[in-house]
Chain A
Amino acid sequence: MKKTAFKLVLLSAVAIAAASASFAAEKLKVGFVYVGPVGDFGYSYQHDQGRIAMQKALGDKVETTFLENVPETDSERSIEQLARSGHKLIFTTSFGFMEPTLRVAKKFPGVKFEHATGYKRAGNVSTYTAKFHEGRYVIGQIAGKMTKTNTLGYVASFPIPEVVAGINAFILGAQSVNPDVKVKIVWANTWFDPGKEADAAKALLAQGADIITQHTDSAAPLQEAEKAGKFGFGQASDQARFAPKAQLTAIVDNWSTYYIERTKAVLDGTWKSTDTFGGMDADMVHLAPFANMPDDVKKMAEETAAAIKAKKLNPFKCPILDQDGKAVECKDGKALSDAQITSMNWYVKGVDDKLPK
């Protein structure tokens, strides 16, 4: 008799636990997959800031999880792990997660996926990215004005469309104010290796570059510029704290609005597979305070940024010549189309580099 009573108590305890678990499960579980550490103070850090803002805005309706330092080549099981553990919305935030995301999405049709910077979608996979190139155009103008050697240095990561579009916009911006300017490019072939990024910046400085910009994730190249008494830009996040004398401005990624909007859509049941390509007008890209530059350069930068924001200026306005001097077809009438930008695999005229294929 006693045993039965004990069993009953045990059973009801289990039932209560199960009930509270299912109650807790009513919270929408949202997962994030980052390629770098959240402490990189750059790309992954900004995504995590977006996650935190979303968690704050939606409070106890959501529960967020993130996985950091997930290698692109081995990301499928990380994404799948999130899907298996009840996450109903998963943001995968690096280009290389594209195929793994699509494979996992096929296995979990009930889970919504959001892939950043890619171009392949499915019924339950959206893509989103920001027009980083708008910011690159502005910093290109600043660099073109500030350089004394007419040589700019660019530390690049991998030859994917986002990076190539960034290089092109930077050069077009620089050329728009300084026709004699040259850009030297070094491919570091990594997103995050501070030592190697610093070495790449040193190589560019040694070749006479006096303004350094980077499309890798650490502040090391900016710090090298400061050490050499030259100038640079922050990448993905305001990095002035690393180089207060060298940072001219920084291109800051702002994912908060997007993450809040998309998570709300899942909560409301209005989520649909879409492709978002927001720029400075949608505040997905903004620039850190302009510093360490003369007033006339600052004024020019502010005006350019305002014009882009008001959609009066398009960095990829036509005519645009490719590396061989041939005019590029403008599928959007007066400018390159979004599709042309997100699949960019060619250089504009004036780039002193061969695109690795």
Chain B
Amino acid sequence: MTSEMFQLILMTVVTAATPLILAAIGELVTERAGVLNLGVEGMMIMGAALGFAGAYASGSTTIGALCGIVAGTLMAALFGLLTIGLAINQVASGLALTIFGLGLSGLLGTGFVGLKRDAAPQLHIQGLSDLPYMGELVFGEDPFVYAAILLVAGTAWFLSRTRAGLALRATGDNHQSAHALGLPVRRTRFLATLFGGACAGLAGAYLTLAYTPFWSPGMTAGRGWIALALVVFASWRPWRIVLGALLFGGATVLQLHAQAASFGLPGQLLSAAPYLATIVALLFLSSGARRNAAAPAALGQPFIAPR
């Protein structure tokens, strides 16, 4: 295998994994605070639509990404008002948020269908980006990829090393105790939900600004749901999100490359490969670490302050 092809395949894997990492790391924080938001797909598609709209209108990828973040955050705020403010069932609200987002994005994006813009530029560092095998892979990605890695690192640090991170985890594990300790349960959950929305919005913007630089309704094609599954797969640990996303994205992309290289394996089986890989990995992860890898104990339970 030549150096270029090796890099090209791995870079495709990274591109496929990035939206999953972005959306999943946000949902991870939301869930660690005890809120289950099944509306990732809806927040993501809104980010995709408004991200593209913003970038197209302003001519700037950065402004587009910010628009995507704002769109996802607003969607999450709506979800937060319903589930945290009014303590409405989280599962039902999350599903409704997905359906709402898919519909609203289609409506808002109508005027942007069929338009195109250039993909977000990729980093280029003289010398480093030209290194064989690894150069472009490490030093030649688009800014979203680096943002995703930084977000994961920041989240890992925040959750395990800061006082606020500890408070967030406490809220997700036992909201009554957290409340008794004087921690602001609702505010923590609301902020965590907003963070989840912002990340999902950014993930959506990645699709329309870097992955396939045009807007089309329904183009998230289920990635929000995969991100939700990745959080479980990662047993709520930040770095495992990266592992899971690379595994899933890798299996998806490698089966396409295997077909193009005519390995003679049946297409449908290859298409199922990423899902099979995920199930196998889930079995491995859950068998050894059953005791300490559990979900946040208060996940999905609405909090009503005792009087």
* Residue ranges of A at the interface with B (Cβ–Cβ < 8 Å): 36-37, 39-41, 68-69, 153, 159, 184-190, 192-200, 202-204, 206-207, 209, 218-220, 223, 227, 241-243, 352-354, 356-357
Q: Count A/B pairs, Cβ under 8 Å.
A: 124
Q: Which residues of B101-155 have CB atoms within 8 Å of chain A's CB atoms?
A: 102, 106, 109-110, 113-116, 119
Q: Which residues of B contact A188 (CB under 8 A)?
A: 256
A159 to B256: give the CA distance in the assembly, Å.
16
Which of B160-168, B188-196, B261-269, B285-293 forms contacts with chain A? B261-269
Q: Is B235 an interface residue (CB 8 A)?
A: no
Interface of B is mostly: helix
Whether the pair B266, A354 counts as a contact (CB closer than 8 A) is yes
* Chain B residue nearest in CB terms to A155: B256
Residues of chain B contacted by A241 (CB below 8 angstroms): 114-116
Taking Cβ atoms with an 8 Å cutoff, the residues of B that contact A are 5, 8-9, 12, 15-16, 19, 102, 106, 109-110, 113-116, 119, 207, 211-214, 216-219, 221-223, 252-253, 256-257, 259-262, 264, 266-268, 270-271
Closest CB in chain B relative to A162 CB, distance in Å = 16
Is the Cβ of A37 less than 8 Å from the Cβ of B216? yes
Q: Give CA–CA (A353, B257) in the complex, Å.
A: 13
Q: How far is the CA of A145 from the CA of B222 in the complex (A)?
A: 39
* Residue from the set B114, B223, B271 with the largest chain A CB neighbour count within 10 Å: B114
* One of B218, B256, B266, B268 near A186 (C-beta < 8 A): B256
- Give complex CA distance A220, B216 in Å: 10
Contact B212 A202 (CB under 8 A): no
Contacts of A352 in B (CB 8 A): 262
Query: Could you tell me if A218 and B8 are in contact, using CB atoms closer than 8 angstroms?
Result: no
Nearest chain A CB to B95 CB, angstrom units: 15
29 CB < 8 A contacts A-B: A39-B106, A39-B109, A40-B217, A159-B267, A187-B270, A187-B271, A189-B268, A189-B271, A192-B216, A193-B222, A194-B207, A194-B211, A194-B214, A194-B219, A196-B252, A199-B16, A200-B259, A203-B9, A203-B253, A204-B260, A206-B9, A207-B260, A209-B260, A227-B119, A241-B116, A242-B114, A353-B259, A354-B264, A354-B266
State in angstroms the CA–CA spacing of A202 and B216 once bound together: 20
In the assembled complex, which residues on chain B have CB atoms less than 8 Å from the CB atom of A196? 221, 252, 256
B113 touches A41 (CB 8 A): yes
Which residues of chain B come closer than 8 Å to A357, judged between CB atoms? 266
From residue B57, how far is it (CB to closest CB) to chain A in Å?
Answer: 18
8 Å CB contact of A206 from B5, B116, B217, B271: B5
**A241 and B256 alpha carbons, distance in the complex (Å):** 27
Whether B268 pairs with A187 at a CB distance below 8 angstroms is yes
**CB neighbours of B16 from chain A (8 A):** 195, 199
Q: Is the CB of A187 within 8 A of B259?
A: yes
In the complex, A200→B270 CA distance in Å?
13
Judging by beta carbons under 8 Å apart, are B266 and A203 in contact?
no
A223 touching B259 in the complex, CB below 8 Å, given contacts A187-B268, A195-B16, A195-B223: no
Known: A184-B260, A187-B267. A193 touches B217 (CB 8 A): no
- Known A-B contacts A39-B106, A39-B113, A206-B9; the reply to A200 vs B219 at CB < 8 A is no
Contact present for B214 and A219 (CB under 8 Å): yes
**Neighbouring A residues of B264 by C-beta, 8 Å:** 354
